A and B are shown apart, each in its own frame.
Chain A
Protein backbone atom coordinates (compact mmCIF):
# COMPACT_ATOMS: atom_id res chain seq x y z
CA UNK A 1 0.00 0.00 0.00
CA UNK A 2 1.06 3.55 -0.72
CA UNK A 3 -0.06 6.67 1.11
CA UNK A 4 -1.07 9.67 -0.95
CA UNK A 5 -1.66 13.04 0.70
CA UNK A 6 -3.40 15.80 -1.21
CA UNK A 7 -1.36 18.71 0.04
CA UNK A 8 -3.81 21.19 -1.48
CA UNK A 9 -6.38 19.86 0.99
CA UNK A 10 -4.12 19.19 3.98
CA UNK A 11 -4.28 21.94 6.55
CA UNK A 12 -2.04 20.41 9.17
CA UNK A 13 -4.59 19.59 11.83
CA UNK A 14 -2.08 16.86 12.76
CA UNK A 15 -4.82 14.33 13.50
CA UNK A 16 -2.94 11.70 11.50
CA UNK A 17 0.18 12.39 13.53
CA UNK A 18 -1.79 11.68 16.67
CA UNK A 19 -2.85 8.30 15.29
CA UNK A 20 0.28 7.20 13.45
CA UNK A 21 3.34 9.27 14.42
CA UNK A 22 5.52 6.61 12.74
CA UNK A 23 4.12 7.72 9.38
CA UNK A 24 2.89 11.29 9.67
CA UNK A 25 4.77 14.24 11.12
CA UNK A 26 3.77 17.88 11.29
CA UNK A 27 6.94 19.89 11.78
CA UNK A 28 7.72 23.33 13.10
CA UNK A 29 6.99 24.84 9.70
CA UNK A 30 3.36 23.60 10.18
CA UNK A 31 3.60 21.36 7.12
CA UNK A 32 2.86 17.66 7.09
CA UNK A 33 5.60 15.25 6.12
CA UNK A 34 4.94 11.63 5.26
CA UNK A 35 7.78 9.71 6.86
CA UNK A 36 6.92 6.39 5.26
CA UNK A 37 4.93 6.41 2.03
CA UNK A 38 4.93 2.61 1.81
CA UNK A 39 4.20 1.51 5.34
CA UNK A 40 4.20 -2.17 6.28
CA UNK A 41 0.95 -4.10 6.27
CA UNK A 42 0.96 -4.06 10.06
CA UNK A 43 0.23 -0.31 9.93
CA UNK A 44 -2.90 -0.71 7.81
CA UNK A 45 -5.42 -0.22 10.64
CA UNK A 46 -3.71 2.98 11.79
CA UNK A 47 -3.51 4.29 8.22
CA UNK A 48 -7.20 3.58 7.67
CA UNK A 49 -8.07 5.30 10.93
CA UNK A 50 -6.02 8.31 9.81
CA UNK A 51 -7.95 8.40 6.55
CA UNK A 52 -11.31 8.30 8.37
CA UNK A 53 -10.30 10.90 10.93
CA UNK A 54 -8.66 13.42 8.60
CA UNK A 55 -10.93 16.47 8.89
CA UNK A 56 -10.02 17.47 5.35
CA UNK A 57 -10.19 14.02 3.76
CA UNK A 58 -6.71 14.68 2.42
CA UNK A 59 -5.27 11.19 2.87
CA UNK A 60 -5.86 8.23 0.62
CA UNK A 61 -4.45 4.78 0.14
CA UNK A 62 -3.34 3.34 -3.18
CA UNK A 63 -2.91 -0.41 -3.46
CA UNK A 64 0.23 -1.07 -5.46
Chain B
Protein backbone atom coordinates (compact mmCIF):
# COMPACT_ATOMS: atom_id res chain seq x y z
CA UNK B 1 0.00 0.00 0.00
CA UNK B 2 2.67 2.52 1.05
CA UNK B 3 2.68 6.29 0.87
CA UNK B 4 0.72 8.23 -1.71
CA UNK B 5 2.08 11.69 -2.47
CA UNK B 6 -0.21 14.20 -4.15
CA UNK B 7 1.56 17.31 -5.44
CA UNK B 8 -1.04 20.03 -5.85
CA UNK B 9 -3.92 20.66 -3.44
CA UNK B 10 -6.39 22.27 -5.78
CA UNK B 11 -9.39 20.48 -7.27
CA UNK B 12 -7.56 17.67 -9.08
CA UNK B 13 -5.14 16.90 -6.27
CA UNK B 14 -7.71 17.10 -3.53
CA UNK B 15 -10.18 14.88 -5.35
CA UNK B 16 -7.42 12.40 -6.14
CA UNK B 17 -6.54 12.25 -2.43
CA UNK B 18 -10.20 11.92 -1.47
CA UNK B 19 -10.78 9.10 -3.98
CA UNK B 20 -7.66 7.27 -2.80
CA UNK B 21 -8.86 7.39 0.79
CA UNK B 22 -12.49 6.54 0.10
CA UNK B 23 -11.33 3.85 -2.33
CA UNK B 24 -9.48 2.02 0.41
CA UNK B 25 -5.94 3.38 0.43
CA UNK B 26 -4.95 2.91 4.06
CA UNK B 27 -1.39 4.23 3.96
CA UNK B 28 -0.35 7.85 4.45
CA UNK B 29 -1.61 10.38 1.91
CA UNK B 30 0.58 13.48 1.76
CA UNK B 31 -0.88 16.43 -0.12
CA UNK B 32 1.54 19.29 -0.81
CA UNK B 33 0.96 22.66 -2.45
CA UNK B 34 2.99 25.83 -2.90
CA UNK B 35 -0.09 27.95 -2.18
CA UNK B 36 -0.39 28.56 1.56
CA UNK B 37 -4.11 29.30 1.11
CA UNK B 38 -4.94 25.94 -0.54
CA UNK B 39 -7.26 24.17 -0.92
CA UNK B 40 -9.95 26.47 -2.29
CA UNK B 41 -12.27 26.75 -5.25
CA UNK B 42 -11.04 28.94 -8.09
CA UNK B 43 -14.06 29.93 -10.25
CA UNK B 44 -15.31 32.51 -7.70
CA UNK B 45 -11.93 34.30 -7.80
CA UNK B 46 -12.88 36.19 -10.97
CA UNK B 47 -16.50 36.59 -9.91
CA UNK B 48 -17.95 36.57 -6.37
CA UNK B 49 -14.65 37.03 -4.52
CA UNK B 50 -13.50 39.76 -6.88
CA UNK B 51 -16.91 41.41 -6.64
CA UNK B 52 -16.54 41.54 -2.84
CA UNK B 53 -19.63 39.38 -2.37
CA UNK B 54 -17.85 36.33 -1.00
CA UNK B 55 -15.06 36.00 1.53
CA UNK B 56 -12.55 33.19 1.64
CA UNK B 57 -14.63 31.02 3.96
CA UNK B 58 -17.14 30.64 1.13
CA UNK B 59 -14.67 29.05 -1.28
CA UNK B 60 -13.39 26.25 0.92
CA UNK B 61 -13.75 23.04 -1.07
CA UNK B 62 -16.29 20.61 0.44
CA UNK B 63 -13.73 17.79 0.18
CA UNK B 64 -11.34 19.86 2.33
CA UNK B 65 -13.72 19.70 5.28
CA UNK B 66 -14.18 15.93 5.17
CA UNK B 67 -12.39 13.65 7.60
CA UNK B 68 -10.02 11.97 5.13
CA UNK B 69 -6.88 11.80 7.30
CA UNK B 70 -4.75 13.70 4.78
CA UNK B 71 -1.30 15.00 5.66
CA UNK B 72 -1.66 18.49 4.16
CA UNK B 73 1.60 20.38 3.70
CA UNK B 74 1.16 23.92 2.41
CA UNK B 75 3.76 26.45 1.30
CA UNK B 76 5.90 23.74 -0.28
CA UNK B 77 6.92 24.10 -3.91
CA UNK B 78 8.01 20.94 -5.69
CA UNK B 79 11.42 21.41 -7.28
CA UNK B 80 12.35 17.98 -8.60
CA UNK B 81 10.87 14.57 -9.17
CA UNK B 82 13.30 11.66 -9.08
CA UNK B 83 11.16 8.94 -10.62
CA UNK B 84 13.65 6.11 -10.09
CA UNK B 85 14.43 6.98 -6.46
CA UNK B 86 10.69 7.64 -5.90
CA UNK B 87 11.21 11.00 -4.23
CA UNK B 88 10.08 14.59 -4.73
CA UNK B 89 12.25 17.45 -3.53
CA UNK B 90 10.47 20.52 -2.18
CA UNK B 91 11.52 24.06 -1.33
CA UNK B 92 9.67 26.56 0.78
CA UNK B 93 7.45 28.66 -1.46
CA UNK B 94 8.25 32.38 -1.74
CA UNK B 95 11.57 32.03 0.06
CA UNK B 96 10.06 30.45 3.17
CA UNK B 97 11.75 27.57 4.92
CA UNK B 98 10.64 24.06 4.18
CA UNK B 99 13.25 22.32 2.04
CA UNK B 100 12.39 18.65 2.25
CA UNK B 101 12.57 15.45 0.28
CA UNK B 102 9.48 13.27 0.41
CA UNK B 103 9.52 9.60 -0.55
CA UNK B 104 6.48 8.03 -2.17
CA UNK B 105 5.22 4.71 -3.45
CA UNK B 106 2.60 6.29 -5.69
CA UNK B 107 2.48 9.85 -7.00
CA UNK B 108 -0.26 12.16 -8.28
CA UNK B 109 1.02 15.09 -10.33
CA UNK B 110 -1.51 17.90 -10.01
CA UNK B 111 0.48 21.13 -9.89
CA UNK B 112 -1.74 22.75 -12.51
CA UNK B 113 -0.73 26.01 -14.03
CA UNK B 114 0.21 29.57 -13.21
CA UNK B 115 -1.04 32.74 -14.87
CA UNK B 116 1.08 33.96 -17.74
CA UNK B 117 2.34 37.49 -17.23
CA UNK B 118 3.40 40.16 -19.68
CA UNK B 119 7.17 40.24 -20.05
CA UNK B 120 9.01 42.99 -18.19
CA UNK B 121 6.07 43.95 -16.00
CA UNK B 122 7.19 42.31 -12.74
CA UNK B 123 7.03 44.68 -9.82
CA UNK B 124 4.88 47.33 -11.54
CA UNK B 125 2.12 48.33 -9.12
CA UNK B 126 -1.40 48.19 -10.53
CA UNK B 127 -0.70 45.23 -12.84
CA UNK B 128 -2.56 42.06 -11.87
CA UNK B 129 -3.33 38.50 -12.83
CA UNK B 130 -6.17 36.40 -11.41
CA UNK B 131 -5.23 32.84 -10.63
CA UNK B 132 -4.86 32.47 -6.87
CA UNK B 133 -6.84 33.75 -3.91
CA UNK B 134 -3.95 36.09 -3.18
CA UNK B 135 -4.23 37.51 -6.73
CA UNK B 136 -7.97 37.99 -6.47
CA UNK B 137 -7.84 39.77 -3.12
CA UNK B 138 -5.00 42.03 -4.29
CA UNK B 139 -6.97 43.08 -7.38
CA UNK B 140 -10.14 43.48 -5.33
CA UNK B 141 -8.38 45.90 -2.99
CA UNK B 142 -7.47 48.07 -5.99
CA UNK B 143 -10.98 47.90 -7.45
CA UNK B 144 -12.40 49.04 -4.11
CA UNK B 145 -10.39 52.25 -4.51
CA UNK B 146 -12.57 52.97 -7.60
CA UNK B 147 -9.99 53.35 -10.37
CA UNK B 148 -10.93 55.63 -13.26
CA UNK B 149 -10.52 52.79 -15.74
CA UNK B 150 -9.46 49.16 -15.77
CA UNK B 151 -7.73 47.70 -18.82
CA UNK B 152 -8.15 43.96 -19.19
CA UNK B 153 -5.65 42.37 -21.56
CA UNK B 154 -6.98 39.18 -23.13
CA UNK B 155 -10.65 38.42 -23.85
CA UNK B 156 -10.51 34.76 -22.94
CA UNK B 157 -12.79 33.48 -20.21
CA UNK B 158 -10.82 34.91 -17.29
CA UNK B 159 -10.46 38.30 -18.94
CA UNK B 160 -14.14 38.28 -19.89
CA UNK B 161 -15.22 37.46 -16.34
CA UNK B 162 -12.94 40.09 -14.83
CA UNK B 163 -14.32 42.67 -17.28
CA UNK B 164 -17.84 41.63 -16.29
CA UNK B 165 -17.12 41.90 -12.57
CA UNK B 166 -15.53 45.33 -13.03
CA UNK B 167 -18.56 46.58 -14.98
CA UNK B 168 -20.85 45.29 -12.23
CA UNK B 169 -18.77 47.36 -9.83
CA UNK B 170 -19.58 50.37 -12.01
CA UNK B 171 -16.05 50.73 -13.35
CA UNK B 172 -15.05 51.78 -16.86
CA UNK B 173 -13.42 48.88 -18.68
CA UNK B 174 -11.33 48.55 -21.82
CA UNK B 175 -10.90 44.96 -22.97
CA UNK B 176 -7.97 44.36 -25.33
CA UNK B 177 -7.73 41.22 -27.46
CA UNK B 178 -4.96 40.42 -29.93
CA UNK B 179 -7.23 38.21 -32.03
CA UNK B 180 -9.78 39.83 -34.33
CA UNK B 181 -12.46 37.54 -32.82
CA UNK B 182 -12.25 36.56 -29.15
CA UNK B 183 -12.46 32.88 -28.22
CA UNK B 184 -12.28 31.92 -31.89
CA UNK B 185 -10.08 28.90 -31.24
CA UNK B 186 -12.55 27.56 -28.69
CA UNK B 187 -15.95 28.60 -30.06
CA UNK B 188 -15.30 29.38 -33.72
CA UNK B 189 -15.60 32.79 -35.36
CA UNK B 190 -19.40 33.05 -35.41
CA UNK B 191 -19.90 32.34 -31.70
CA UNK B 192 -16.78 34.30 -30.78
CA UNK B 193 -18.42 37.35 -32.36
CA UNK B 194 -21.55 36.78 -30.25
CA UNK B 195 -19.41 36.74 -27.11
CA UNK B 196 -17.73 39.97 -28.25
CA UNK B 197 -21.15 41.56 -28.71
CA UNK B 198 -22.08 40.67 -25.11
CA UNK B 199 -19.19 42.82 -23.88
CA UNK B 200 -20.15 45.75 -26.08
CA UNK B 201 -23.79 45.49 -24.98
CA UNK B 202 -22.58 45.77 -21.39
CA UNK B 203 -20.65 48.97 -21.97
CA UNK B 204 -17.14 47.62 -22.42
CA UNK B 205 -14.72 49.45 -24.69
CA UNK B 206 -13.65 46.40 -26.70
CA UNK B 207 -10.46 46.63 -28.78
CA UNK B 208 -10.01 43.66 -31.08
CA UNK B 209 -7.07 42.66 -33.25
CA UNK B 210 -4.65 44.82 -31.35
CA UNK B 211 -1.81 43.90 -29.03
CA UNK B 212 0.00 45.59 -26.19
CA UNK B 213 3.06 47.57 -27.17
CA UNK B 214 4.04 48.61 -23.67
CA UNK B 215 2.73 49.71 -20.31
CA UNK B 216 3.07 53.36 -19.33
CA UNK B 217 4.32 53.94 -15.82
CA UNK B 218 5.27 56.67 -13.38
CA UNK B 219 7.58 56.54 -10.39
CA UNK B 220 5.76 57.18 -7.12
CA UNK B 221 7.75 57.06 -3.91
CA UNK B 222 10.38 54.81 -5.40
CA UNK B 223 7.71 52.50 -6.81
CA UNK B 224 6.82 52.05 -10.45
CA UNK B 225 3.06 52.29 -11.03
CA UNK B 226 1.03 51.72 -14.19
CA UNK B 227 -0.75 54.73 -15.74
CA UNK B 228 -1.93 53.23 -18.99
CA UNK B 229 -1.44 50.81 -21.82
CA UNK B 230 -0.04 51.74 -25.23
CA UNK B 231 -1.37 49.44 -27.91
CA UNK B 232 0.23 48.25 -31.13
CA UNK B 233 -2.02 50.59 -33.14
CA UNK B 234 -0.30 53.50 -31.39
CA UNK B 235 -3.23 54.46 -29.16
CA UNK B 236 -2.88 54.77 -25.42
CA UNK B 237 -5.57 53.82 -22.92
CA UNK B 238 -5.18 55.64 -19.60
CA UNK B 239 -5.83 53.28 -16.69
CA UNK B 240 -4.99 52.91 -13.00
CA UNK B 241 -5.35 49.15 -13.03
CA UNK B 242 -4.34 46.57 -15.65
CA UNK B 243 -5.42 42.94 -15.48
CA UNK B 244 -3.56 40.43 -17.62
CA UNK B 245 -5.53 37.38 -18.73
CA UNK B 246 -3.41 35.85 -21.47
CA UNK B 247 -3.56 32.21 -20.51
CA UNK B 248 -1.49 29.99 -18.32
CA UNK B 249 1.92 28.42 -18.05
CA UNK B 250 1.94 24.83 -16.83
CA UNK B 251 3.74 24.13 -13.56
CA UNK B 252 5.93 21.37 -14.96
CA UNK B 253 9.41 22.78 -14.29
CA UNK B 254 9.94 20.27 -11.50
CA UNK B 255 9.42 17.39 -13.95
CA UNK B 256 11.98 18.39 -16.58
CA UNK B 257 14.64 15.92 -15.42
CA UNK B 258 12.20 13.23 -14.30
CA UNK B 259 12.22 11.13 -17.45
CA UNK B 260 8.47 11.62 -17.86
CA UNK B 261 7.34 12.83 -21.26
CA UNK B 262 6.51 16.53 -21.04
CA UNK B 263 4.96 17.89 -24.22
CA UNK B 264 2.29 20.55 -23.74
CA UNK B 265 1.57 18.88 -20.41
CA UNK B 266 2.39 15.60 -18.74
CA UNK B 267 1.77 12.98 -21.40
CA UNK B 268 -0.36 10.16 -19.99
CA UNK B 269 -2.04 7.02 -21.21
CA UNK B 270 -5.82 6.66 -21.40
CA UNK B 271 -5.95 6.01 -17.64
CA UNK B 272 -3.93 9.17 -16.83
CA UNK B 273 -0.83 7.13 -16.04
CA UNK B 274 2.44 8.93 -16.81
CA UNK B 275 4.67 6.07 -15.61
CA UNK B 276 4.14 3.04 -13.36
CA UNK B 277 2.78 4.35 -10.05
CA UNK B 278 2.72 7.93 -11.33
CA UNK B 279 -0.45 9.62 -12.59
CA UNK B 280 -1.36 13.17 -13.56
CA UNK B 281 -4.62 15.10 -13.35
CA UNK B 282 -5.99 18.57 -13.88
CA UNK B 283 -4.77 21.34 -16.17
CA UNK B 284 -1.43 19.72 -16.97
CA UNK B 285 -2.57 16.17 -17.83
CA UNK B 286 -2.53 15.35 -21.54
CA UNK B 287 -4.25 12.12 -22.46
CA UNK B 288 -5.49 10.30 -25.57
CA UNK B 289 -9.22 10.68 -26.13
CA UNK B 290 -10.88 8.01 -28.26
CA UNK B 291 -14.04 10.10 -28.18
CA UNK B 292 -12.38 13.06 -29.89
CA UNK B 293 -9.72 11.00 -31.67
CA UNK B 294 -6.80 13.10 -30.45
CA UNK B 295 -4.72 14.03 -27.45
CA UNK B 296 -6.56 16.36 -25.07
CA UNK B 297 -5.42 18.63 -22.29
CA UNK B 298 -8.39 20.24 -20.59
CA UNK B 299 -8.28 23.20 -18.22
CA UNK B 300 -11.87 22.91 -16.98
CA UNK B 301 -13.12 22.79 -13.40
CA UNK B 302 -15.15 19.63 -13.91
CA UNK B 303 -12.29 17.85 -15.69
CA UNK B 304 -10.02 18.59 -12.73
CA UNK B 305 -12.42 16.80 -10.39
CA UNK B 306 -13.16 13.90 -12.72
CA UNK B 307 -9.49 13.58 -13.70
CA UNK B 308 -8.35 13.59 -10.09
CA UNK B 309 -10.81 10.85 -9.30
CA UNK B 310 -9.85 8.82 -12.37
CA UNK B 311 -6.12 9.18 -11.69
CA UNK B 312 -6.66 7.92 -8.14
CA UNK B 313 -8.67 4.97 -9.41
CA UNK B 314 -5.75 4.10 -11.69
CA UNK B 315 -3.43 4.00 -8.67
CA UNK B 316 -5.93 1.94 -6.68
CA UNK B 317 -6.21 -0.49 -9.61
CA UNK B 318 -2.40 -0.79 -9.67
CA UNK B 319 -2.36 -1.60 -5.97
CA UNK B 320 -4.86 -4.39 -6.62
CA UNK B 321 -3.24 -5.47 -9.89
CA UNK B 322 -6.46 -4.77 -11.71
CA UNK B 323 -6.78 -3.02 -15.05
CA UNK B 324 -7.24 0.74 -14.76
CA UNK B 325 -10.40 2.45 -16.02
CA UNK B 326 -10.23 4.63 -19.13
CA UNK B 327 -10.72 8.37 -18.69
CA UNK B 328 -12.59 9.91 -21.61
CA UNK B 329 -15.51 12.09 -20.48
CA UNK B 330 -17.21 14.80 -22.48
CA UNK B 331 -15.44 17.93 -21.22
CA UNK B 332 -17.58 20.91 -20.32
CA UNK B 333 -17.30 24.26 -18.60
CA UNK B 334 -19.29 27.32 -17.80
CA UNK B 335 -18.47 31.01 -17.68
CA UNK B 336 -20.61 33.67 -16.05
CA UNK B 337 -20.37 37.07 -17.70
CA UNK B 338 -22.75 39.92 -16.82
CA UNK B 339 -26.18 38.28 -16.66
CA UNK B 340 -25.24 35.58 -19.18
CA UNK B 341 -24.20 32.01 -18.47
CA UNK B 342 -22.09 30.51 -21.24
CA UNK B 343 -21.70 26.73 -21.21
CA UNK B 344 -19.80 24.58 -23.65
CA UNK B 345 -19.75 20.80 -23.67
CA UNK B 346 -17.47 18.90 -26.00
CA UNK B 347 -14.42 20.07 -27.85
CA UNK B 348 -15.28 21.68 -31.18
CA UNK B 349 -12.63 22.73 -33.69
CA UNK B 350 -12.91 26.27 -35.13
CA UNK B 351 -13.51 24.76 -38.58
CA UNK B 352 -16.49 22.64 -37.45
CA UNK B 353 -19.97 23.39 -38.71
CA UNK B 354 -21.95 25.44 -36.16
CA UNK B 355 -25.75 25.53 -36.18
CA UNK B 356 -27.96 27.60 -33.88
CA UNK B 357 -30.78 25.21 -33.00
CA UNK B 358 -32.67 27.12 -30.35
CA UNK B 359 -33.20 30.75 -29.35
CA UNK B 360 -31.42 33.68 -30.92
CA UNK B 361 -27.88 34.98 -30.80
CA UNK B 362 -29.21 38.57 -30.97
CA UNK B 363 -30.99 38.00 -27.67
CA UNK B 364 -27.93 36.26 -26.20
CA UNK B 365 -30.08 33.28 -25.32
CA UNK B 366 -29.54 30.28 -27.56
CA UNK B 367 -28.19 26.79 -28.12
CA UNK B 368 -25.72 25.96 -30.90
CA UNK B 369 -24.42 22.57 -31.97
CA UNK B 370 -21.02 21.92 -33.50
CA UNK B 371 -20.33 19.02 -35.79
CA UNK B 372 -17.86 17.55 -38.19
CA UNK B 373 -19.29 14.99 -40.57
CA UNK B 374 -21.55 12.78 -38.45
CA UNK B 375 -19.63 13.54 -35.28
CA UNK B 376 -21.22 15.89 -32.75
CA UNK B 377 -18.24 17.82 -31.39
CA UNK B 378 -19.87 20.35 -29.10
CA UNK B 379 -22.92 22.09 -27.71
CA UNK B 380 -22.81 25.74 -26.71
CA UNK B 381 -25.48 27.42 -24.67
CA UNK B 382 -25.98 30.98 -23.58
CA UNK B 383 -28.49 31.10 -20.70
CA UNK B 384 -29.65 27.65 -21.72
CA UNK B 385 -28.38 25.28 -18.99
CA UNK B 386 -31.05 22.62 -19.41
CA UNK B 387 -30.37 22.14 -23.10
CA UNK B 388 -26.63 21.98 -22.60
CA UNK B 389 -26.75 19.36 -19.86
CA UNK B 390 -29.22 17.23 -21.79
CA UNK B 391 -27.14 17.35 -24.94
CA UNK B 392 -23.98 16.67 -22.92
CA UNK B 393 -25.62 13.52 -21.56
CA UNK B 394 -26.59 12.53 -25.09
CA UNK B 395 -22.99 13.12 -26.19
CA UNK B 396 -21.77 10.81 -23.44
CA UNK B 397 -23.98 8.18 -25.02
CA UNK B 398 -22.58 8.89 -28.46
CA UNK B 399 -25.38 10.77 -30.22
CA UNK B 400 -24.46 11.73 -33.80
CA UNK B 401 -24.56 15.27 -35.19
CA UNK B 402 -27.58 14.58 -37.48
CA UNK B 403 -29.47 12.88 -34.63
CA UNK B 404 -28.70 15.80 -32.30
CA UNK B 405 -29.94 18.30 -34.89
CA UNK B 406 -33.11 16.29 -35.32
CA UNK B 407 -33.67 16.02 -31.58
CA UNK B 408 -33.35 19.79 -31.15
CA UNK B 409 -35.79 20.35 -34.03
CA UNK B 410 -38.41 18.22 -32.31
CA UNK B 411 -40.44 20.25 -29.83
Q: Which residues of A contact B (CB under 8 A)?
A: 11-15, 17-18, 21, 25-28, 30, 51-53, 55, 57
Contact = CB atoms under 8 A, between A and B. Distances in A.
B156 interface: no
Nearest to B381: A14
Chain A at the B interface: SS class: loop
Contacts of A51: 62
A33 to B, nearest CB: 11
Interface stretch (B26-34, B86-94, B388-396): B388-396
Contact of B301 (A14, A18, A55): A55
A52 B308 CA distance: 13
A25 B393 CA distance: 13
Contact of A52 (B305, B336, B384): B305
Contacts of A52: 15, 62-63, 305
Given A30-B384, A57-B41, 7 more contacts: A11-B341, A12-B341, A13-B341, A13-B385, A27-B386, A51-B62, A52-B63
B388 A55 contact: no
A21 B386 CA distance: 11
Given A12-B341, A13-B343, A15-B302, A26 B62 contact: no
21 contacts: A11-B336, A12-B385, A13-B334, A13-B341, A13-B343, A13-B385, A15-B389, A18-B389, A18-B393, A26-B385, A27-B386, A28-B386, A30-B383, A30-B384, A30-B385, A30-B386, A52-B15, A52-B62, A53-B305, A55-B43, A55-B334
Interface size class of B (residues with CB under 8 A): 20 to 34
A55 B41 CA distance: 9
Contacts of A55: 41, 43, 301, 334
A14 B389 contact: yes
A27 to B, nearest CB: 6
B342 to A, nearest CB: 11
Contacts of A17: 386, 389
B303 to A, nearest CB: 12
Contacts of B341: 11-13
Interface string B54-80: 000000001100000000000000000
Contacts of A28: 386
Nearest to A17: B389
Contacts of B389: 14-15, 17-18, 26
A14 B385 contact: yes
A14 B63 contact: no
B381 to A, nearest CB: 9
A39 to B, nearest CB: 19
Q: Which 5 A-B pairs have the closest CB atoms?
A: A14-B389, A14-B385, A26-B386, A18-B389, A12-B385
B392 A18 contact: yes
Interface string B177-212: 000000000000000000000000000000000000
A13 B384 CA distance: 9
Interface in B299-322: 301-302, 305
